[in-house]
């Protein structure tokens, strides 16, 4: 019998046998069902396939408290990240302790059953503070916790019936046991994992080569394709980029596998969690980067975590986990030597070239050349397919201002000017059109006005995604709703907020539709600027004054703004 390394022995899974699964499926049909969110599906998949070993299900209240406070479960196992089943109060009321529930995906397929042993209302601010370092909604996971996750947690063991269905990149997705079997078959003993949520450029390739060489190990490129941070490059594009660079690596020493993890962007704790998950996948070494899994800036504009916090935490626990940490070397390109060096080994007096993430995004957006020393032509080609230059992308122009401020008139003029230029379809989403076609059943309460704006935002984001131009001209009085629409649109293209800055006195003097008169007489309730507030935009892309300016000039100001942003060719 060949010598078996313990880290490649099979790991326990939570699935029952095929026969039991068929029986369970039928029985589970009568249970109360919980429809899992995308994040919960990611968590459930890694619970069931052993990626979250030693967890046997969603954390109980005692384990949750212990993990939040001490990074360990009550029996002492190291586990830094709460994995909880959050549900609404309404659903929680339908569930008794000791009851089995069916966990279903979004199509209604039963993936697992769970015995509910615990039900509690967590202290989310405490969780944010302890796990993510601050109760600050600028952190994507804290924002998720407070604004998307349910208010009640359920805990209990999970019985796996079937894996979540993936229709994409099936051959590249490996469970921990599939990876372990692959390493056994290949005779790999030492394997270093590279965790990433970004496309790989030359510096990453140099860094991974070096890490594998120093650890005398094989390399597993192990990108996360579950959920990353809003605004990240989508995983379809990223995987095409990984596949494009794979042949730059020696094939017998490198493997690519996709990890369906929902990242929390939790910095040091997340890095430790990543190391544990990699250990469960049969790896012996793990590369931890500077500010590993950091979410960017907090509300004060500072980094959430120090650059080396993650490395220190992982180093402190590496022996207990049984995985060795490999330092992430910051690689830079030295012009004179025409090759990459770790930043601390750059020969004196040489020129270091670097392109930041922000600069890369700018070059992609504006169609500017990206040099071969920075990235591979194959990767740049994939990125450009997803992000054509700005003058070919869709965008949304969003006018906001009082009723009668001139929004619709300017929007109409802008539409005609853009149509005259040609090249992209233009859609006008103006108040009356929208009220008739999208929102005929809505009134003018705050809730209904918000819903109307969200619908406009949804349509605008779809138009933008498909390369068209959307022009919106609602009153849109509330800043929070405008921010939500901006986020919807900006995941697909540029959002230009134009504040039509006409004073309420001037609007009332014009009173084209006679609405201000009715509002003053109290015949229209909740009228913006009279009996309902208007949040003046603080930093719109453009403010236009209509008093003493003609419509043509106002529309032309918008055109100039679009030109300066590279959205239309001058």
Residues 288, 290, 291, 297: is their CA dihedral positive or negative?
negative
pLDDT tens-digit readout, 310-333: 999 999 999 999 999 998 778 889
- DSSP helix/strand/coil, 297: strand
Question: Are 402 and 528 contacting, i.e. CB atoms less than 8 angstroms apart?
Answer: yes
Tell me the residue length of the chain: 570
C-alpha span between 324 and 492 (Å, rounded): 40
Using the predicted structure, report yes or no on whether residue 97 has a pLDDT greater than 50.
yes
Using the predicted structure, report yes or no on whether residue 3 has a pLDDT greater than 50.
no
C-alpha span between 425 and 438 (Å, rounded): 20
Q: Phi/psi of residue 295, each to 5°?
A: -90, 5
Is 197 part of the annotated catalytic residue set?
Answer: yes
Predicted local confidence at residue 50, as pLDDT? 97
* Rg from Cα positions in the chain: 27
Predicted local confidence at residue 570, as pLDDT? 65
Q: HSE of 107 in the Cβ direction (CA atoms, 13 Å)? A: 5
Give the torsion through C-alpha atoms of 198, 204, 205, 207, to 10 deg. -150
Question: Are 231 and 295 contacting, i.e. CB atoms less than 8 angstroms apart?
Answer: no
Is 198 part of the annotated catalytic residue set?
Answer: yes
- What is the pLDDT averaged over residues 82-107? 97
Predicted local confidence at residue 525, as pLDDT? 80
Question: Are 428 and 410 contacting, i.e. CB atoms less than 8 angstroms apart?
Answer: no
Using the predicted structure, report yes or no on whether residue 350 has a pLDDT greater than 50.
yes
Q: What is the mean pLDDT of the chain?
A: 91
Helix axes 479-490, 446-465, angle to 10 degrees: 20
pLDDT tens-digit readout, 529-557: 888 889 999 899 999 999 888 999 999 99
Split at pLDDT 50, 70, 90, the class of 4 is low
Direct distance between the N- and C-terminal alpha carbons of the chain, in angstroms, rounded to an integer: 73
Using the predicted structure, report yes or no on whether residue 2 has a pLDDT greater than 70.
no
pLDDT tens-digit readout, 472-505: 999 999 888 998 899 889 888 899 999 999 998 9
Question: Are 220 and 193 contacting, i.e. CB atoms less than 8 angstroms apart?
Answer: yes
Is 159 part of the annotated catalytic residue set?
Answer: no
Angstrom distances, CA of residue 359 to CA of 69, 230, 362, 394, 458: 39, 19, 5, 21, 29
Question: Are 292 and 91 contacting, i.e. CB atoms less than 8 angstroms apart?
Answer: no
Catalytic residue selected from 104, 197, 202, 240:
197
Residue 73 DSSP one-character state: -
Using the predicted structure, report yes or no on whether residue 344 has a pLDDT greater than 50.
yes
- Give start and end residues of each alpha helix (H) in 438-543: 446-465, 479-490, 504-510, 515-520
Split at pLDDT 50, 70, 90, the class of 44 is very high
Using the predicted structure, report yes or no on whether residue 120 has a pLDDT greater than 80.
yes
Predicted local confidence at residue 319, as pLDDT? 96
Catalytic residue selected from 49, 196, 284, 396:
196
Using the predicted structure, report yes or no on whether residue 1 has a pLDDT greater than 60.
no
C-alpha span between 494 and 387 (Å, rounded): 12
Predicted local confidence at residue 152, as pLDDT? 98
Element (H, E) at 431: helix 431-437
Pairing of strands 395-400, 331-334: unpaired
Predicted local confidence at residue 231, as pLDDT? 66
Q: What is the pTM of this model?
A: 0.80
pLDDT tens-digit readout, 393-427: 899 999 999 988 999 999 999 999 999 998 899 99
Task: Give the range with max mean pLDDT: 94-108, 375-389, 507-521.
Answer: 94-108
Catalytic residue selected from 5, 115, 198, 553:
198
- DSSP helix/strand/coil, 27: helix
C-alpha span between 311 and 324 (Å, rounded): 11
C-alpha span between 440 and 457 (Å, rounded): 16
C-alpha span between 261 and 173 (Å, rounded): 12
C-alpha span between 553 and 148 (Å, rounded): 43
Widest Cα–Cα separation across the chain: 93
Among residues 470, 497, 473, 501, the alpha carbon closest in space to that of 408 is found at: 473
C-alpha span between 503 and 517 (Å, rounded): 16
């Amino acid at each position: 019998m060949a010598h078996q390394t313990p880290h490649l022995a099979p790991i326990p899974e939570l699935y029952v046998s095929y026969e039991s699964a068929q029986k369970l499926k039928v029985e589970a049909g009568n249970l109360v069902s919980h429809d899992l969110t995308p994040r919960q599906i990611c968590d459930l998949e890694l619970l069931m396939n052993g990626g979250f070993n030693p967890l046997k299900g969603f954390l109980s209240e005692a384990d949750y408290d212990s993990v939040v406070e001490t990074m360990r479960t009550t029996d002492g196992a190291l586990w830094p990240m709460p994995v909880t089943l959050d549900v609404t109060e309404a659903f929680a009321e339908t569930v008794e302790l000791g009851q089995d529930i069916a966990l279903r995906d979004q199509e209604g397929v039963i993936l697992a059953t769970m015995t509910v042993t615990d039900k509690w209302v967590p202290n989310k601010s405490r969780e944010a503070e302890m796990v993510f370092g601050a109760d600050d909604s600028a952190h994507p996971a804290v924002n998720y916790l407070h604004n998307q996750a349910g208010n009640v947690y359920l805990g209990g063991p999970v019985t796996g019936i079937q894996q979540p269905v993936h229709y994409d990149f099936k051959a590249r997705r490996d469970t921990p046991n599939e990876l372990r079997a692959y390493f056994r078959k290949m005779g790999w003993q030492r394997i270093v994992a590279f965790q990433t949520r970004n496309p790989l450029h030359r510096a990453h390739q140099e860094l991974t080569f070096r890490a594998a060489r120093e650890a005398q190990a094989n390399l597993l490129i192990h990108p996360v394709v579950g959920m990353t941070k809003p605004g990240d490059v989508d995983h379809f594009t990223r995987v095409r980029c990984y596949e494009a660079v794979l042949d730059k690596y020696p094939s017998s020493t490198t493997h690519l596998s996709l990890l369906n993890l929902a990242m929390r962007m939790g910095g040091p704790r997340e890095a430790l969690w990543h190391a544990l998950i990699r250990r469960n996948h049969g790896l012996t070494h793990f590369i931890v980067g500077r500010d590993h899994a950091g979410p960017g800036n907090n509300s004060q504009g500072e980094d959430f975590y120090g650059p080396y916090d993650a490395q220190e935490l992982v180093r402190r626990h590496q022996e207990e986990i049984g995985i060795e940490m490999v330092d992430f070397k910051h690689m830079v390109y030295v012009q004179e030597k025409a090759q990459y060096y770790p930043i601390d080994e750059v020969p004196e007096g040489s020129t270091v070239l670097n392109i930041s993430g922000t600069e890369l995004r700018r070059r992609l957006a504006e169609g500017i050349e990206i040099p071969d020393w920075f990235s591979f032509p194959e990767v740049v080609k994939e990125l450009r397919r997803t992000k054509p230059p700005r003058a070919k992308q869709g965008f949304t122009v969003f006018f906001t201002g009082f009723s009668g401020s001139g929004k619709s008139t300017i929007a109409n003029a802008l539409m005609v000017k853009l149509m005259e230029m040609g090249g992209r379809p233009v859609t006008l989403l103006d108040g009356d059109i929208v009220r008739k076609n999208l929102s005929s059943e809505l009134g003018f309460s705050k809730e209904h006005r918000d819903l109307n704006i969200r619908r406009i935002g949804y349509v605008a984001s779809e138009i933008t995604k498909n390369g068209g131009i959307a022009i919106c001209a609602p009153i849109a009085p509330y800043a929070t709703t405008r921010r939500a629409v901006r986020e919807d649109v900006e995941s697909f293209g540029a959002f230009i907020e134009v504040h039509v800055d006409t004073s309420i006195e001037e609007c009332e003097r014009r009173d084209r539709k006679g609405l201000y008169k009715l509002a003053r007489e109290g015949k229209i309730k909740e009228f913006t600027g009279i009996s309902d507030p208007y949040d003046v935009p603080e930093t719109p892309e453009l403010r236009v004054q209509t008093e003493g300016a003609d419509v043509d000039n106002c529309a032309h100001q918008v055109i100039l703004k679009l030109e300066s942003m590279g959205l239309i060719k001058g």
